Amino acid sequence: MIPKNFKSSREDLDLKQKDIADFFNLHFSTVSGWETGKDTIPIERLIDYANEYYLSLDYLFGIISKNQKYSPVELDLDALAKALTELRLRNNYTQVYVAKKLNTSQSAYSHYETATNIIPTTFIYGLTKIYKPFSIDELFGRKKIK
């Protein structure tokens, strides 16, 4: 699974795959893999990319059609875990229900809500199918730049 607008955002910024690879200190074939869907970009990398270029995660994932600028944010695993738990409880879902929708086990999902593990990019995208409305930017505590 690739964020829908990752490649187009790179092109809009007039960047080459090599530029992104250099930014992350990776081989350009890794970036190519992200863009083709062969590989999944880790959420930490996607946040770094969004922070660097003031891109909305919601835009990168294709939730919204036009980019809205967001201020950079540091990935805070504890804050993310709290936000995941609050989101689930606000919607009156159980961990079992969310885990089943994400095609994982309840014990694996519980690790995301206890800050033991970071939720994978594919599962973050899966949350957009469970929760309506849903903002990935808000989940990570990002604030719009006015």
**Smallest Cα–Cα separation from 98: which of 108, 113, 88, 112?**
88
The pLDDT confidence band at residue 67, using thresholds 50, 70 and 90, is: very high
65, pLDDT greater than 80 = yes
- Residue 91 to residue 45: CA distance in whole angstroms: 29
Q: pLDDT for 83-94, tens place per residue?
A: 999 999 999 999
CATH hierarchy code of domain 77-139? 1.10.260.40
146, pLDDT greater than 90 = no
- What are the extents of the domains in the chain? 6-60, 77-139
Distances (CA, A) of 94 to 26, 58, 89, 115, 132: 39, 25, 7, 17, 16
**pTM strictly above 0.85:** yes
User: Which CATH topology does 6-60 take?
Assistant: 434 Repressor (Amino-terminal Domain) (1.10.260)
For the chain, how are helix, strand and coil distributed in percent, rounded to 5? 55, 0, 40
